[in-house]
Structure 1
């Protein structure tokens, strides 16, 4: 009988969760249904009852706010929903900080999206740059709101600043980030940046999507692309650098002037280009990549063979 009573009590507890549990369940339901207005009402009730809110609750509410900005409405409903989401989102963030709860990376990313929606890309960037004071590290998605906003408004120097900060934090842009940087550089006539981002794109993406290809084509078909190259260069040095970089690129910028021949082609099964007739060749890894590879092999070897003298062998070699 005693066991039966405990089991029934346990069932009653499951059927009647505490207020915090009810709040969590209803908030998850609002998130699932993208119900921002319901979440706002739920939050107001929770505050009036002095319920304790944690990281999860705040992040869920902020996610709802930022996510609601991407939904489709009529123009009148969209304006109203956007204003509501922005007002509520920043209010939530302020309360979170006032409550002594430090934000997470997800928090900052959500608020950065709200800042951009409000038309304040500078705030979005500042939020990411100040993540260190909360002892959290940014991720690629953290930089996205500010970077894409700056590129969209053709603020090239600010976009470059975001990318530089990103790399300094060990976060490297991928195709979606590099292509907007490439476009803003091309539109601004910053040929040195176009060259730099083309090389970065080459390193991170072995195959680009159609929209990226169109932006690259547009650059090489532009009048600026035909005049930015150097007329004089050290051919021997260029060959040495190509060899040093594994047979790939020389890294010396644009060489030669004149109109580029731009066309789409196919590569046959033997690696021969149908357009120019050139044979594709294998490109080896460069010096820095070789060093990283060697260090990885050494680290793996020493982990697997604790008593080995691989370190001594490596030094002697």
Structure 2
């Protein structure tokens, strides 16, 4: 009851009473006590924390078995004292007890080290996580990004951005603000390569599936950061750069299909799913799969096959395909009630004649069937199902979101019939271009991709790759020293007028010395006023 009410004072009184009366407490009681102490309200925090450490030492003396919750609670108590070493030590001790740490176990230590600006220990925590198969999510990566930015560690920032790309894909508004702070910093403007092997970059992007190269910061100079949507052709409305569609790995796709089939076969009765696999091998492949229940129940309680028919016809016209899409529908929706009406019966018969409908058996979950068919056929999936429930969580957060993004077609109905929202024209994921630009998608509440805002980050002074002259225009063919002199003259004359000209002539020797220094050092000397 104390646990339900969050009553740490009452719980401690019961603990002391139990000790006084020599009542032996078990692991569960200690776990609850430590949890209450670690999450105590501010007014009793200090006393509760002292008591919490006393209870933890009592557990050790009495050889009470520890569990993950116990260690995590003690680590949280260490957070209140800013003791990162103790919080991290709690995680390390778990392995000695044969306990596998969870993501929440690392939170206290990581939080303390990042808050204290202790970048070395913060990344030691992350390394420990990865060694034990625990992967950071956006809150942890955001903390690592912040401590890296504060420390001015450009390589760390670069690596964390790529970790966000692979595991988070779309960033929250708070992470976006942090990224924006990095790109507008003086440190960001100073780091990067002046020249690079363009062939090496292109090869790296090809091997990675496109959309990134991972070879470090390209270019030098001040960054321009803007917030902009991407148009229906995948072009950034700020810089005009075409964002890419990142290829799905065929091996990963095949493994994904096998994973779905394996889980479905275990959960479906009487080999019903294996029968569907054989049916699909015989009648497939299809260019689209329709989640008929989701379509037929759109905006209403009763199932309407006419809506399914309209969507089927609409997607056929859009894809210009002769073959019908596969309609997956539970058999209980095919028989009885209004389905016996002549019009509805005629529709079902038409689909059967075209070998375009599969009725899933009683007791089955039709989600397995339409999902597997779309993966196996490598085709589009027409459904408004967001695929977020426990069934789809079995597939993890790695490959499944990428697959869904490239294959799901959403629909709606207007007075003139169904309308379709096809997969986005580019992959909605952090992208790095071969010229060193970055585009970062920000999480949007809207389902319409046209309304999503992206961070567009590019150098105001773009540099040239060493092996790709086709990226340079006629302007860049002017010798660098002459070009800089001309830009300097334009700048001085425009801003300061005739007096600026006279001063510029006086300082011409200094400009020549600076240009010589730039040539010797193969760098650019930038002045920020």
Is 2:227 the counterpart of 1:255? no
3-state secondary structure, aligned to 1:47:
helix
Equivalent residue, structure 1, for 2:93: 130
1:194-209 equivalent positions in 2, closer than 5 A: 194-209=157-172
For residues 131 and 109 of structure 1, the distance between their equivalents in structure 2, rounded to whole angstroms, comes to 10
Is 2:147 the counterpart of 1:184? yes
**1:277 to partner: Cα distance:** 2.1
Match of 2:75 among 112, 116, 123: 112
Map Cα deviations across residues 31-56 of structure 1 (whole Å, 9 max, x no partner). Answer: 12111111111111112222231221
Q: TM-score, normalised by structure 2?
A: 0.48
Indicate if the aligned counterparts of 2:30 and 2:55 stay in contact, CA closer than 8 A. Answer: yes
Equivalent residue, structure 1, for 2:394: none
Identify which range, 143-152 or 50-59, moves more after superposition.
Answer: 50-59
For residues 83 and 54 of structure 1, the distance between their equivalents in structure 2, rounded to whole angstroms, comes to 25
For residues 84 and 64 of structure 1, the distance between their equivalents in structure 2, rounded to whole angstroms, comes to 12
Match of 2:15 among 40, 43, 48: 43
Is 2:137 the counterpart of 1:174? yes
**1:191 to partner: Cα distance:** 0.6
Which of 1 and 2 has greater Rg? 2
3-state secondary structure, aligned to 1:264:
strand
| Length, aligned pairs only | 267
Equivalent residue, structure 2, for 1:60: 32
3-state secondary structure, aligned to 2:227:
coil
Equivalent residue, structure 1, for 2:3: 31
**1:224 to partner: Cα distance:** 1.2
3-state secondary structure, aligned to 1:279:
coil
The structure richer in helix per residue is 1
Indicate if the aligned counterparts of 1:271 and 1:279 stay in contact, CA closer than 8 A. Answer: yes
Equivalent residue, structure 1, for 2:321: none
Indicate if the aligned counterparts of 1:86 and 1:118 stay in contact, CA closer than 8 A. Answer: no
**1:292 to partner: Cα distance:** 5.2
Pair 1:138–1:153, CA change in 2 (3 A): same
**1:271 to partner: Cα distance:** 2.8
Match of 2:50 among 72, 87, 97: 87
- After superposing on structure 2, the runs of 4+ consecutive aligned residues of structure 1 that deviate more than 6 Å are 299-303
The structure richer in strand per residue is 2
**Aligned-pair RMSD on alpha carbons?**
2.1
3-state secondary structure, aligned to 1:138:
coil
Pair 1:221–1:92, CA change in 2 (3 A): same
3-state secondary structure, aligned to 2:19:
helix
Equivalent residue, structure 2, for 1:22: none
Is 2:198 the counterpart of 1:226? no
Indicate if the aligned counterparts of 2:211 and 2:244 stay in contact, CA closer than 8 A. Answer: no
Indicate if the aligned counterparts of 2:194 and 2:218 stay in contact, CA closer than 8 A. Answer: yes
Pair 1:217–1:103, CA change in 2 (3 A): same
Indicate if the aligned counterparts of 2:113 and 2:119 stay in contact, CA closer than 8 A. Answer: yes
Structure 2, unaligned stretches of length 5 or more?
267-529
For residues 130 and 100 of structure 1, the distance between their equivalents in structure 2, rounded to whole angstroms, comes to 14
Equivalent residue, structure 2, for 1:243: 206
3-state secondary structure, aligned to 2:224:
coil
For residues 215 and 36 of structure 2, the distance between their equivalents in structure 1, rounded to whole angstroms, comes to 48
